[in-house]
A and B are shown apart, each in its own frame.
Chain A
Amino acid sequence: MSARLRSLLLTLAAPVLAVVFAAIITSIVLSVSGHGPIETLSLMVDYGFQPRTISLTINSATTYFFAALAVAVAFRMNLFNIGVDGQYRLAAMLAAAVGGAVALPGPLHVLLIVVVAMLVGAAWAAIAGILKATRGVSEVISTIMLNFIATGIVAYLLNTDRLAVQVAGSNNIGTKHIPESGHMPGLSLIPGSGTQQVFGFVIIAILAGIAFQVLLNRTRFGFDLRATGQSESAAIASGVNVKRMVVISMVISGAVAGLVGMPQLLGASYSYGLDFPTGLGFTGIAIALLGRNHPVGIAIGALLFGFLDNSSNILQINEIPNEIVVIMQGVIVLSVVVAYELVRRYKLVAEQRRVSRELSAGGTGGPAPEGAAA
């Protein structure tokens, strides 16, 4: 179907255009600081396509994917979960503590940790959902505040008097090391990547993406969620209990947020310490928006961000300011959304034009008003 194809091409045109635009901006910035843009970009690409780096990129992307997915669930119903950050940190910390405290057979141990993380994430997010549903508190504000509060709670619990242990000889402290049975084995997906395995959790990420898509597009619940996102008033009139939906979708979002720390926890660090990665929730927001809240888009966005993050090292080695990576990320997000918007408008006008063309070709000609025949 050529119309379909055209629409698809248009949809793809947007991000491509945007990335090109971002490349131009970055080139200007690079030139100003006296670095060759072409060399720099080819350096990044060269490095980015080495097997090790691909593994690393996939690993970063797996984590980002969950963060963005968590944001996207809420965003699909117009809820803005800025609190993914606090949710995953609290969840990972408590899950790590539980995981370190028990000994269970292999898969069960992992399952327990994951379930605890999801529950904690969900519970923390539920606070914002409940406050919104019952007290009308904007989730934007409440989740920002809850991030700070989560920081305090984690800091309180991550203390050698409570859940933490001192890592021998180090200035780091962390939860008790999770025994082997609670590890998620890595995958040797990329040939030639040596010791750098891909997180086993990448499989869960793919499953989560599929589940997300099925949930939203194939279930009644998903329909209600999307309907609420598109028009709250219409959703209410159709019988959706919006307050309940607010709480449920925050809970789902929080549960997914609980997974954010899992690839790292179960695949690399096996303990929640002071060096556990932070700020992933905020990156997740940008990636969700970049990927238009669609799992495939999010996956692409996550890989792109992972790639950019990992190229920071190679840039530094070559004495190129690695801050351009952050600038690039910002420019890409902004230009992608501008491009999407332009394409969206173009498509809307094209569709209206098509509707009226097909209708007039359909032969309702003559002076009779529309619908008079009925």
Chain B
Amino acid sequence: MATGIKVGAELEAPRKAIFRLTWKTLLLAIAALVVLLSVIRVITGANDITSGGTMNAAIGLAVPIAMAGLGGLWAERAGVVNIGLEGMMMLGTWFGAWAGVQFANPWAGVVAGLVGGAVGGLLHALATVTFGVDHIISGVAINILGLGVTQYLSKQIFTGMQGGGETQSPPIPGITKVSLPGIDGPLSSLEKQHIFLLSDLAGILRGLFVDVSLLTIVAILLIPLSFFVLWRTAFGLRLRSCGERPVAAESLGVNVYKYKYIAVVVSGAMAGLGGAFLSIVASGIYREGQTAGRGFIGLAAMIFGNWRPGGLAAGAALFGYTDALQLRGGGLSVHALLLVVVVLLVAVTVWQATRARVRPAAIAGVMAALVLVYYLVTDTIPQEFTQFTPHLVTLLVLSLAAQRLRMPAADGVIYRKGQTG
């Protein structure tokens, strides 16, 4: 029951229309997006939308979300819905900070964050796999527990520490940041000239290769690594088969419980790593409430990404990007983004119209017109609204694309050994 109802899914399951992202389409889409952003930047003069600072901030904001999403991916590919990511992430922030401080070494914190999250995952696995509890219920409970346990531990442990308190840790030693040598200067001067496309590329490159934390690199590498493990190795195939058709896996001698356990524990570890990133790299300190719903957003990014690593990375990047824009001076940049929305909606309109789908085309067209009018009559967007830009964008993109998503067939289905018919 955890998967919830899938409206009409069984009758309308689009077979051929399933969205499979290939490298080629991905690169093409990215290129098109960069050009589009560049055009919009030149038109609106909102230079921050492709600046190196924005890109760098976007990555920093995207990493914890991507890690939570990766956590979701591991669990759900093995058929366990993990809505407890937020709680596991909290454990990651706390344990990451604690060990980082305790051993005066951020990498000890990273390991502890992984372990802390993994313990949360283990609990989730115990409840869902061994006891067959509804996955969502267990996840909700773990979110409560994550909060309670970290609050309790802070009071017990951080209170006595220099610079720590009931709700925060002492400062955590940082992790080295690295840059590709010799590119910062030239790229940033190129960026400052605001040349069409060139400056945008310079900004993007600078964001990607200057001042990047080592843990960011590790985290980003985990995405292709997860892809490799899940899609290219025997282990991954078995794990995924547990999420698609566990009885089939069982009938071939795959120990379904084992793989589910491993998957959910890894899932917790990933979320924990996201938490550790947040406390160690992004903040340098543990603060109660620091996760601020990022676990849920990670889950959204994963669904947005069609239960695939590349997709979830795109989802997390989109989220990080829009969040970075709004935090970096909000109104103007987000206002410029409206034009991007207009262009995309017009594209949808045209695309639907060529396929003779009148209603969707009309809806998209009207929406495009409305957004355009709003763009033209305003100069900026109130700060209260810019803050939900990432959420609104996610919602809009999902309502355009949700029907093309495909979750693992046995996701959320409680599996018991020997059910085979």
Contact = CB atoms under 8 A, between A and B. Distances in A.
Interface of A: 29, 33, 77-80, 82, 131-133, 135-142, 144-146, 148-149, 151-153, 155-156, 228-229, 232-233, 236, 242-243, 246, 282, 285-286, 289, 321, 323-331, 333-334, 337-338, 341-342, 345
A142 to B, nearest CB: 6
A327 B385 contact: no
A132 B134 contact: no
A145 B392 contact: yes
A155 B299 CA distance: 25
Q: Which 7 A-B pairs have the closest CB atoms?
A: A326-B148, A330-B145, A330-B144, A327-B148, A156-B384, A323-B152, A334-B141
Interface stretch (B4-12, B169-177, B191-199, B338-346): B4-12
B122 to A, nearest CB: 13
Q: Is chain B's binding surface mostly helix, strand, loop or mixed?
A: helix
Nearest to B398: A137
Contacts of A341: 131-133
Given A141-B300, A323-B148, A333-B137, 18 more contacts: A136-B9, A137-B395, A140-B299, A141-B299, A144-B296, A145-B388, A149-B392, A152-B387, A155-B387, A156-B382, A232-B10, A246-B5, A246-B7, A289-B134, A326-B145, A326-B151, A334-B123, A338-B127
A289 B140 contact: yes
B5 A329 contact: no
Given A229-B5, A232-B5, A330-B142, A136 B152 contact: no
A366 B398 CA distance: 61
A140 B384 contact: no
Interface string B93-134: 000000000000000000000000000000100010001111
A333 B156 CA distance: 24
Nearest to B392: A149
B245 interface: no
A152 to B, nearest CB: 4
B5 A142 contact: no
A132 B293 CA distance: 22
Contact of B403 (A82, A136, A242): A136
Contacts of A285: 140
Nearest to B132: A341
Interface in B160-183: none
A141 B395 CA distance: 8
A234 to B, nearest CB: 11
Contact of B395 (A136, A145, A325): A145
B141 A286 contact: yes
A97 to B, nearest CB: 16
Contacts of A138: 4, 303, 398, 402
B147 interface: yes
B328 interface: no
Contacts of B376: none
Contacts of A79: 4-5
Contact of A337 (B11, B134, B299): B134
Contact of A141 (B382, B398, B403): B398
Nearest to A142: B395
A133 B7 CA distance: 6
A155 B384 contact: yes
A344 B83 CA distance: 23
B136 interface: yes
Given A137-B402, A338-B127, A145 B385 contact: no
B399 interface: yes
Given A131-B399, A137-B398, A146-B395, A80 B4 contact: yes
A29 B152 contact: yes
A141 to B, nearest CB: 5
B141 A242 contact: no
A141 B152 contact: no
